[in-house]
Amino acid sequence: MPRDLDLRKLRYFLALAEELNYGRAAQHLHIAQPVLSRQIRALEAELGASLFVRDRRGVELTPAGEALRADTPALLAAADAARRRVARAARGTDTFTIGFMPGLIVTAAAVALEARRPGLRVQVVRTGWDDQVQVLHDGRADVSYVRLPVDERGLRVIGIAEEPRVAVVAAAHRLAGKDEMTLTDLADEHLLQNPDAVPEWREVATEMRERVPRPPGEDRYGVEEKLEHVARGRGVAVLPASVAAFYTRPDIAVATITDIGPSRVALAWQAQRRSPLIRDFVDVVAGLDSPCTVLAPPG
């Protein structure tokens, strides 16, 4: 029967799984290559499975290695999260951290939790599309206000709000000045974000139908980067109305998209955690008239 997984060996495994080269992985880990080889062999022996295929062409993951590669980031993130929580407890720091996406205001919930738990310090951390769930897995936040869809594996997720989605165009754009528009109006435009985030648009988009290559890295733009490119006439963006309101600027124009579903806001936390503070916070949110405040567009 295999022993408990060694986190150090898992970190070594993950480095090699990402590099698929012993030399580069060892360099990344700041260890000697023979040490890495021994640790990988030891891990394979403990698991009773070959994780890598080694031949003249290089290194490849076996099916068992692929399975472990899928699970390892979550295992390591959970361990890091536990370390953070233990370190806070050891320092005697009674804190609770709320993650939130741009355009959302969580002040009422934070104040209500502090009132319910005298002596508790509630902190907040701003998140983005790429880390709104990751902050839960790595322990930076206890709960997170997320914009759906997200990867819900390992999480409890409850919907709490909805809001319209808007199109953001340059102030000089042909569509600027319209209060409303449809997806058909945007069909010939270049979308400055991952098309998977707006599947309704990709169904009608000319550039998707014609398979126009997308610039590398563009799908990972943050809101500020998107708006910089929008203002320069390089494309359009589809955002929740509150995000557009949060980033109001004179060189862009905003219009509600009438034939698209709303942006949905949810509260998420790690499903396996049994924290009384999380239970209290969920109760607090359920008792509020407005679980979170969504910034209204200026008008």
Using a pLDDT cut of 70, give the percent of the chain over it.
Answer: 93
Q: How confident is the model at residue 85 (pLDDT cuts 50, 70, 90)?
A: low
Q: What is the mean pLDDT of the chain?
A: 88
Domains of the chain: 7-76 (1.10.10.10), 94-162+264-294 (3.40.190.10), 165-257 (3.40.190.10)
Q: For 132-165, what is each residue's pLDDT tens digit?
A: 999 998 889 999 999 998 989 889 999 999 999 9
Q: Is the pLDDT of residue 54 over 60?
A: yes
Q: How confident is the model at residue 89 (pLDDT cuts 50, 70, 90)?
A: low
Contact 236, 190 (CB under 8 A): yes
pLDDT at 90 over 70: no
pLDDT at 219: 81
Q: Which of 73-87, 99-113, 161-175 has the lowest mean pLDDT?
A: 73-87
In this structure, the number of other CB atoms found within 10 A of the CB of residue 132 comes to: 21
**Residue 224: per-residue pLDDT:** 92
Burial pattern 158-179, b for ≥16 Cβ within 10 A else e, equals: eebbebbbbbbbbeebeeeeee
- Whole-structure pTM value: 0.67
Say yes or no to pLDDT of 119 above 70. Answer: yes
pLDDT at position 1 is 39
Q: Which residues pair with 266 in a beta bridge?
A: 146, 159
Closest alpha carbon to 240 in 201, 187, 296: 296
Give the pLDDT score at 80. 76
pLDDT for the residue numbered 196: 84
What's residue 6's pLDDT?
A: 84
β partners of residue 294: 104
Q: Is the pLDDT of residue 92 over 60?
A: no
3-state secondary structure string across 184-244: HHHCCCCECCCHHHCHHHHCCCHHHHCCCCCCCCHHHCCHHHHHHHHHCCCCEEEEEHHHH
